[in-house]
Structure formats: structure tokens, C-alpha cells
Amino acid sequence: MGKTKVIVGLGSCGIAAGAKKTYEKIQALQTAENLDFELKQTSCIGMCYNEPLVEIIDDEGHYLYGGIDEDKALEIIEKHVIQHEPLKDYVVHSDLFETLDDVFFDDQVKIALRNCGYIDPESLEEAEAQGAYRAMGKIQKEKLTADVIIQSVLDSGLRGRGGGGFPTGKKWVFARNSESDEKYIICNADEGDPGAFMDRSLLEGDPHAVLEGMIIGAYAIGVQQGVIYCRAEYPLAIKRLNIAIEQAREKGYLGENACGIEGFNFDIYVKEGAGAFVCGEETALMASVEGERGMPRKRPPFPAVKGLWGKPTNINNVETWANVPWIIREGAQEYAKYGTEKSKGTKVFALTGKIKHGGLVEVPMGMSIRDIVFKLGGGILEDKAFKAVQLGGPSGGCIPAYMADTIVDYDSVNATGAIMGSGGLVVMDETTCMVDMARFFLDFTEKESCGKCTFCRVGTKRMLEILTRITKGDGKEGDIEKLEELAYQVKENSLCGVGQTAPNPVLTTIKYFKDEYEAHIRDKKCPAKVCTELITYVVDDEKCTGCTVCAKNCPVDAISGERKQLHHIDQDVCIQCGVCYTKCNFDAIKLL
């Protein structure tokens, strides 16, 4: 019998859910009782809704246990590892039998995330065992030229996964054709939306995939220096990146004659950013790397001609770089068999919001929003009505439920008014106020504006003021038209993508949910019953038992009534705080 492996998911999501304590409890038990099993760590496997996750691999097969706290961990070690009796009630995925959670993995195709959750991200040996640096070995062995490599990336159909969707191979061609003795490549790991969870998880889970992608890009473009720009709020990603970079240097994958290729001298370092959303825009990112304030620059010249330090520069995001080694190793046609005519390969999405199975998924381009939400995501929390998804991060757009059969590819998503972005997919249900949702996202982008462009700096502020006024019950006729006018002015006159896309949540909610705006403005009602100032709390005559709990907890004494008698809320005194609604044990407080 081989040695049993016990693997604990120690990505940021798992650690936040208590996985580190679970790991330490198992480690302490192993040491105290001198138990003979191999204890290892891995990263996020994507099933974040079931964290902490513990995987047991023994002679029988694989068992993935979900929701494993310290007590359950001890039970699993005792029953499964020592007595060889798996606890099927805790298993969420296995290769030996079916579980209810299997559907989470059924339609996924793991390319960018191929090793995340399967290897120890701090082990170069485990990464190599799963194929790390074999693409560079193929380039060296078969003497693939830069032109052949770039053509493979072009033939694969890979488009930038950072939001714009520009063909990756074309970007590389532009940078390669720029004449200069000094060139740079950059990995943009600074997207500040829910899709940044994807970037962080990739860097935490398989840093060598990103490094190898950059090495291949550097060799094809003719680059000596690479930079990974990662926000400092991702300390675990930065830690594992630096470990991987040092390992790659020691093994000869980086440095002088990198990967054993004579004359190919290439190295990478990590630049920690301060977390400004605008630094996800490539020219602002380069300004930050150079030590300047992160603000966008006019284009042209484009970075491929004049970028970092005034030299030709190629920038791709984390997911894009992670795809490259797989394409070179497995072949462009193998990659291109996934997806649609104009959007090849797979896309990673961070599922969040009112969804049962929140987490990280990788699906073939062309899968419908409906399948992502209801198959992989398990549907809406508490089985409430599906209302919309917000796709593309804070600058993305809202797609209503009746358009859920829209497929996820660049053209189809853009046609709705949303954007692919870096992969954030926020699910909303019937309790979501779309006006308030637009206000929420615009509040973020208004605060994150670098202030360089008047239309972005001032226009988003004026829009936010109108939206806030509407949600407080002070909306006026003409506000919708003012919002649309301002939105188009901001889109058309901002210098960078941050300002150009900031109005998307507003424009798409007006387009698809205009009736909610009108209800707020004309009827002074919030259909979703979210906007506090537009809610009226009343007592349900049939359900009130006169328990007095609501009256005792009302902070302004707006509720009157004798014990075991019907109570009443004085609307002139009520401040719509909602305390009575949350405290009532008999659902006797209604929202109107």
C-alpha cells in the first residue's frame, strides 16, 4: 500500500475560511501520534463555496472533502486515514462515486487552471511533473523560431483575457517588429474587480505557468526583462511568485542563457502596486512601475512602440500568459477546438453574488450564461428568482435573466452592453435593486478615477449624485435622460478604458431595467425593497401576535400596542431602519 496523501487547500479563499487552522490541527495530530501519511498543501481548486477543502488520496482513489473544520479534520484522519473508512457524508467530489457537487466540474475545461488545486504551488518539482517548462523544452529541442512561436499563438486564436480581447499574437508581432535593443514584457496582475480573484488564484496556485508563458513571450519578442505588476494586497500571491522566480533562476529557466538557450538572457521581477484600479490600464500601470503616479497616457504611441521607460513593451494579463505554454506544448489547433469562431479557448470566471456555488470556474468559450449560473453555479441562493448577472467587473454591464442564453464570447457579450473583462460574474436575484446596483459600481469607479480626465473625474461624480438621489427617493423627471447624456459624454471623452467603461452599469440597467428607475422616480418605490428611504414598514394584521418584540427594539418608539394585541407603526415617526423587520419572529412586519 502506498503512502496516503492528505492535501489541504491553502489558497487565500481557503485560509479565509479557516483552512490554515485545519492544516495545523492535522499537522499537530500527525506529529503527536507519529502518523505515517504525507501532509501537503495546495491552492484554490475553485470550489470556494465548500472551503476548507481537504483531499485524501490513497490506494482506493481520490476523495475531496468539503467544509472541513478542525473537528471534522480529526474525524477524517481517524476514520479515513487510520481505519480506511471514508466518510462519504463529507465528500464533495470523488473519482469513485457520484456526489451532488460533481456538476460543478462536469462542463469545465481546465487549461489556464490546469494545475491549480492539484500541485503544491511552492514546489517546482511538482509543477515540472505536471508539464511546467516542457513548452520551452519543445522550443529548444525542435529549434522553434520566434516566427513559428508567434504564428502558433496567432493560429490558436488566443485573445487577451484582461478585458479588451485583442489578439495576443498580433500584440506580440507589433512588439517584435519594433526596432530597439531594449524591450520589456509585463504581466498585468492588477485588475481590481472580482476577476482579480482569478488572477490571484492563478498566481497562488500555479506561478510557474505564468513564468513560463512570459519566458516564451520574451523569447519570441526578443526581450531581456519581464515585470509582474501585482497589487500588494495579494501577499500570498507575491510570496509564491517570488519563491517560483528564485526556483526558476536556480534551475536555469531564468537568467543568462535562460532555459539553456545560448544568448537568451531573460529575467523577471515582481513590482508591488498600491492597488489603484486605474493601474489595471496598461499605460497607467507602466507609469506606476516607473515610480510615477498611476495615470494613463495618450495613445498613440502604443506600448508596443513606446512603453516602459520609453521602450517597446508587450503587456498581457495573468490568464493570458498562463495559456501560452499549453498552446505551445499541445498545439494551436488543440486549443482552437474549444470556443467559438472568433473567441477560441476557455475563459476563467469568478462566480459571486446570489449564487449557491460561488467560486472559480474555467469553461469553453461559447457556454451560455444560464449554464454557468445554473449548472456550475448551482442556481440562485434560496431558489429565489434569477434577475441578472453583472459581467466584466465594476466597469461591466448588467445582462437580464431573459438574455441568459447569451453565450460567453467577446462579440456576444459586447453586444449586450457588458464586457468580458477579466472574468468577474456577479449573480443577482429578485432582491437586488438595479438602480442601487448601478450606484454601487459607479461609487467604486468614481472613487478610483485618477482624476486626469475632466469627463471621468467630474462626470462620474455627477452621475453618482443623481443615482444616490434617486435611491433616496429624491429622483426627478429628466434624471434618466441626464444620466444617459452624462454616460455617453464620459464614455466618449475619457482617455483610458476606466472612464470609457465606467458608465456601463448605468447604461445597461437603464436599457434593461428602466421600469425600476421610473418606479423610484415617479412612484417613490423600490420594487426590490432595498432602498431604505423608499420602504414602508407595516404590521400584518393576520400574523401579529402582540409579542412586543418590535416595539421594544424600535429605536424611535414608532411602534405602539399592548401585549397580545395588534401593534401599529406610526409612519410619521418611523425612520425605516428595519430593526422591527429583522427582530420579528412571526414575519408580521411587511415591506411595502
Q: 443 and 369, same structural domain? A: no
Q: 453 and 409, same structural domain? A: no
Q: Is residue 137 part of a domain?
A: yes
CATH number of the domain where residue 553 is located: 3.30.70.20
CATH number of the domain where residue 424 is located: 3.10.20.600
Domain count, the chain: 5
Domain final residue, candidates 278, 309, 336:
336
538 CB neighbour count, 10 Å cutoff: 14
What's the confidence (pLDDT) of residue 405?
A: 97
> How far apart are the C-alpha atoms of 417 and 253, rounded to whole Å?
43
What's the confidence (pLDDT) of residue 542?
A: 92
Report how far apart, in Å, the C-alpha atoms of 78 and of each of 75, 81, 82, 89 are: 5, 6, 5, 15
Q: What is the mean pLDDT of the chain?
A: 94
Q: 420 and 438, same structural domain? A: no
| Residue pLDDT, tens place only, 383-393 | 999 999 999 88
Q: 559 and 502, same structural domain? A: no
What's the confidence (pLDDT) of residue 32?
A: 96
End-to-end CA distance of the chain: 65
What's the confidence (pLDDT) of residue 192?
A: 55
Q: 291 and 167, same structural domain? A: yes
Q: What are φ and ψ of residue 360, in 5° steps?
A: -115, 125
Q: Is residue 183 part of a domain?
A: yes
Three-state DSSP state, 535: coil
What's the confidence (pLDDT) of residue 194?
A: 45
> How far apart are the C-alpha atoms of 359 and 183, rounded to whole Å?
37
Q: 460 and 398, same structural domain? A: no
List 560's β-bridge partners, or say none.
568
What's the confidence (pLDDT) of residue 270?
A: 97
What's the confidence (pLDDT) of residue 191?
A: 63
Q: 213 and 284, same structural domain? A: yes
What's the confidence (pLDDT) of residue 383?
A: 96
Among the listed residues 195, 201, 187, the one whose alpha carbon sits nearest the alpha carbon of residue 112: 201
CATH number of the domain where residue 447 is located: 1.20.1440.230
Q: Are strands 38-42 and 5-9 parallel, antiparallel or unpaired?
A: parallel
Domain enclosing residue 139, as ranges: 124-336
Q: Is residue 108 part of a domain?
A: no
Q: 352 and 393, same structural domain? A: yes
Q: Which residues of 501-532 are buried (b: 16+ CB within 10 A; e: fewer)?
A: bbbbbbbbbbebbeebbebbbeeebbbbbbbe
> How far apart are the C-alpha atoms of 592 and 121, rounded to whole Å?
52
Max CA pair span of the chain: 90
Cell digits of residue 308? 516602459
pLDDT averages per 10-residue partition of the chain, 592 residues? 89 95 97 96 95 96 96 96 95 94 93 96 97 97 96 97 89 96 94 65 96 98 97 93 98 97 96 88 94 92 96 96 98 97 94 95 97 96 97 91 96 93 90 97 93 94 98 96 97 92 96 98 95 93 94 95 94 92 93 88
Q: Are strands 38-42 and 62-66 parallel, antiparallel or unpaired?
A: unpaired
Domain final residue, candidates 336, 362, 377:
336
What's the confidence (pLDDT) of residue 395?
A: 86
Q: 398 and 368, same structural domain? A: yes
Sign, CA dihedral 14-16-20-25, equals: negative
> How far apart are the C-alpha atoms of 374 and 352, rounded to whole Å?
13
Q: Is residue 9 part of a domain?
A: yes
Q: Let me know: does 495 contact 450? Beta carbons within 8 Å.
A: no
Q: 178 and 279, same structural domain? A: yes
Residues 6 or more apart in contact with residue 119 via CB below 8 angstroms: 42, 126, 127, 129, 130, 205, 206
Q: Is residue 529 part of a domain?
A: no
Q: Is residue 110 part of a domain?
A: no
Q: 266 and 128, same structural domain? A: yes
Q: Is residue 42 part of a domain?
A: yes
Per this entry, what is the length of the chain? 592
What's the confidence (pLDDT) of residue 497?
A: 86
Domain final residue, candidates 481, 496, 523:
523
DSSP annotation of 526 reads: -
Q: Let me know: does 495 contact 298? Beta carbons within 8 Å.
A: yes
Q: 154 and 258, same structural domain? A: yes
CATH number of the domain where residue 24 is located: 3.40.30.10
Q: Is residue 557 part of a domain?
A: yes
